[in-house]
Amino acid sequence: MSSNSTTGSTSTVSAGGLPSRRNTELGLLVFAVVIPVFAYANVGLAKNGTLPAGMIGYGLGLGLLAGVAHLLVRKFAPYADPLILPICTLLNGLGLVLIWRLDQEPGVRPENAAPGQLMWSALGVALFLAVLVFLKDHRILQRYTYISMAVALVLLALPMFFPPVNGAKIWVTIPGVGSLQPGEFAKIVITVFFAGYLMVKRDALALASRRFMGLYLPRGRDLGPILAIWALSLMILVFETDLGTSLLFFGMFVVMLYVATERTSWVLFGLLLSAAGAVVVASTTTHVQDRVDNWLNPLQLGANGGVTETAQVMYSFGSGGLFGSGLGEGFTRLIGGIAVKSDYILATVGEELGLTGMMAILVLYGLLIERGIRTALAARDPFGKLLAVGLSGAFAIQVFVVAGGVTALIPLTGMTMPFLAQGGSSVIANWALFAILLRISDTARRPAPAPAPNPDVEMTQVVRS
């Protein structure tokens, strides 16, 4: 059998293969390391008038991480997308500089967060490498479809058994280690489940539907899962007051369903259901009502007559203007509260790097999303396509929800800006997410093995002639 399949390999796609682009990646990585080091120097000069003492160490550390990552990618995923690793490194590096810069401000909690973040980033890169080394083929994940579902549910339910932190029950507190946000990991695990499930069920979902008023309506038994996921995401919101995560899961599910079935009716259903859910939740939960009020009137004074966090964030953006005040010279500490280094990190970008820096960062995120979707297009197997589009879609929705929330484009939900924001779970989970995408892109772009001189083939030829 095996010899047959080898001889039949004349139909293999582009046996010559795409260029590996590893040297492009290396060149871009140099920029991704140098730019944050300059930013680091910039902060030191602005705050103390001298180059910061840790600059060389920081530069070497970041360079070392990037270098090791690059070498391992070269070894274990030689055909992977060349843009993803440099962009992740650049965003992570800039995030570290921004957090270190905010560490210089007295009174911004949590204090001295940069060393911790550096450690989490190193762990994130380590997990990234582990995925590349041990996950030889992303299709292996398909075997764990239902285990993934169970794991995701456990991860999502876990925070309910821990006391709420700052009003939201999305944290798991492990003594001695700190707090983790299992939702960030659940994001990846549940994508694996969706991809595996939909790959199996896509035909039933796509074809077994009735036509009603020009729309293809799915059968009730096929509608079940989407309703279940919708209910689940609302429950997460109600029990854990986590609007962002529920929106993220639901949006991701609709995106993957649409890609799997190619039926627009699913998207319409998804929009209708999320609109209905949003209205119900917004009209019953005071927490959400406050968020909507703040969104509609971001500059309104608080109940105590003070300037609200939302207004402070807007003032940060406005004061940044076109070119920003310069790193280290802004006043985002005025935002106060507990989220200056995490949820509101973009306010520091907006104020200190200005509109220019803000657009640059958003374009970097846009590029990452685009590379992810490109990977989905290039993937040859439906599971890989679904997984890649699900992961990139989730990432896109997260970026939009956070950045849109902070800039008051949409109501604010507490989520972290991937790579930039302070938070261990987030940075680790996102490195793992892009490791999986790199693995898919490597498989997709890897040239098929050339028809090697095979002893069996030789023999057949001899017999024929």
Partner 1 sequence: MNKPIRKIAVFCGILVIALLVRVNWVQFVQAEELSSSDKNRRVLIERYAHPRGDIIVEGKAVTGSTETDSRDFQYQRTYKDGAMWAPVTGHASVFNATMLEGVHDKILTGNDDRLFFNRTIDMITGKPMEGGNVVTTLNAAAQRAAFEGLGNKKGAVAAIDPRTGAILALASTPSYDPGSIVGNDAEASDNWVALNEDPDKPMLNRALRETYPPGSTFKVLTAAAALESGKYDIDEKSGIEDPYELPQTDKELSNFGNPPCDDATLRVALQFSCNATFAGISADLGNEEMKEMAEKFGYNEELFVPVRTAESVYPEDNAPQNAMAGIGQASNRATPLQIAMITAAIANDGKLMQPYMVDRLEGPRSVVEQNEPQEMGQPISASNAKKIQQMMETVVEDGTGTNGQIEGVTVGGKTGTAQRGVDNSETPYAWFISYAMTDNGSPVAVAVVVEDSDAERNEVSGGGLAAPIAKDVMRAVLEGRQ
User: Scanning residues 323 to 342, which ones bind partner 1 (CB under 8 A)?
Assistant: 331, 334
Residue 279: HSE in the Cβ half-sphere, 13 Å Cα cutoff: 5
The residue from 408, 429, 436, 437 that contacts partner 1 (CB under 8 A) is: 408
Q: Which two tokens stand for residue 268?
A: 């319409």
x/- track of binding to partner 1 for residues 350-369 (CB under 8 A): x---xx--xx--xx-xx--x
The answer to the question of residue 255 lying near partner 1 (CB under 8 A) is yes
Q: Residue 393 belongs to what H/E stretch?
A: helix 382-406
Query: What are the C-alpha distances in Å from 370 to residues 84, 363, 385?
Result: 10, 10, 14
CB of 420 to partner 1, least distance (A): 14
Question: Applying CB under 8 A, does 138 fall inside the site for partner 1?
Answer: no
The enclosing H or E element of 172 equals: strand 172-174
Alpha helices (runs of H) in 241-344, residue ranges in sequence order: 243-261, 264-284, 286-296, 309-320
What residue type is assigned to position 394 of the chain?
A
Number of residues engaging partner 1 in binding (CB under 8 A)? 50
Nearer CB in complex with partner 1: 123/299: 299
Which of the stretches 121-129, 167-175, 217-225, 319-327 binds partner 1 when contact is defined by CB under 8 A?
Answer: 319-327
Round to whole Å and give the CA distance between 260 and 266. 10
Interface region with partner 1, contact rule CB under 8 A, candidates 129-137, 186-194, 288-296, 385-393: 385-393
CB 367, CB 83: distance < 8 Å = yes
| 400 in contact with partner 1 (CB under 8 A) | yes
CB of 326 to partner 1, least distance (A): 14
Q: Is 262 in the site for partner 1 (CB under 8 A)?
A: yes
Q: Please tell me whether the peptide bond between 110 and the residue prior to it is cis, using omega within 30 degrees of 0.
A: yes
Instruction: Look up residue 413 and give its two tokens.
Output: 């939900």
Least distance from partner 1 to the Cβ atom of residue 409, Å? 4
Taking the C-alpha atoms of residue 63 and residue 49, their distance in angstroms, rounded to an integer, is 25
Instruction: Tell me: does residue 106 bind partner 1 (CB under 8 A).
Output: yes
- Minimum CB separation of residue 370 from partner 1 in Å reads 7
Q: How far is the CB of 395 from partner 1 (least distance, A)?
A: 9
The region of 23-31, 65-73, 74-82, 401-409 touching partner 1 under the rule CB under 8 A is 401-409
**Residue (169 or 371) nearer to partner 1, CB:** 371
Nearest to 77 by CA among 122, 12, 25, 31: 25
Q: Which of 152, 247, 403, 428 binds partner 1 (CB under 8 A)?
A: 403
Which of 307, 338, 448, 457 is in the footprint of partner 1 by CB under 8 A?
307
How far apart CA 394 and CA 400 sit, in angstroms, is: 10
Task: Copy the structure tokens of residue 78.
Answer: 């030689």
Q: Which residue in the block uniquely carries the two structure tokens 């490597």?
A: 442
Is 305 one of the binding residues for partner 1 (CB under 8 A)? Answer: no
Tell me how far, at minimum, the Cβ of 252 lies from partner 1, in Å: 11
215 lies in the binding site for partner 1 (CB under 8 A): no
DSSP 106-163: TTPSSSS-HHHHHHHHHHHHHHHHHHHHH-S-GGGGGGGHHHHHHHHHHHHHGGGGS-
The residue among 169 and 291 lying less far from partner 1, judged by its C-beta, is: 291
Q: Using CA atoms, how far apart are residues 38 and 310, in angstroms rounded to an integer? A: 31
Q: Which is nearer to partner 1, 284 or 356 (by Cβ)?
A: 356
Binding mask 6-45 for partner 1 (x = CB under 8 A): ----------------------------------------
Residues 98 and 350 sit within 8 Å (Cβ to Cβ) = no
Of positions 78, 318, 337, 449, contacts partner 1 by CB under 8 A = 318
- Contact status: 296 vs partner 1 (CB under 8 A): no
Give 328-337's long-range contacts (Cβ < 8 A, gap of 24+): 328/42, 328/43, 328/44, 328/45, 328/46, 328/47, 328/101, 328/104, 328/352, 329/46, 332/102, 333/102, 333/105, 333/107, 333/108, 335/309, 336/309, 336/312, 337/309
C-alpha 116 chain-centroid distance: 20
List of long-range contacts for 162-168, beta carbons under 8 Å, 24+ apart: 164/241, 166/338, 167/241, 167/287, 168/240, 168/241, 168/242, 168/414
Using the minimum distance from each CB to partner 1, give the nearer residue, 167 or 321. Answer: 321
Stretch that binds partner 1, among 13-21, 34-42, 256-264, 455-463 (CB under 8 A): 256-264
Task: Decide: is 347 part of the binding site for partner 1 (CB under 8 A).
Answer: no
Is the Cα dihedral 428, 431, 435, 440 positive or negative? positive
Q: Which amino acid is at 30?
A: V
| Distance in Å, CB of 215 to partner 1, minimum | 16
Regarding 404 and contact with partner 1 (CB under 8 A), the answer is yes
Interface with partner 1 by CB under 8 A: which range of 36-44, 122-130, 221-229, 299-307?
299-307
Q: Which is nearer to partner 1, 174 or 359 (CB)?
A: 359
Interface contacts to partner 1, rule CB under 8 A: 106-107, 255, 258-260, 262, 299, 301, 307, 311, 314-315, 317-322, 331, 334, 350, 354-355, 358-359, 362-363, 365-366, 369-370, 373, 376-377, 382, 385-386, 389, 392-393, 396-397, 399-400, 403-404, 407-409
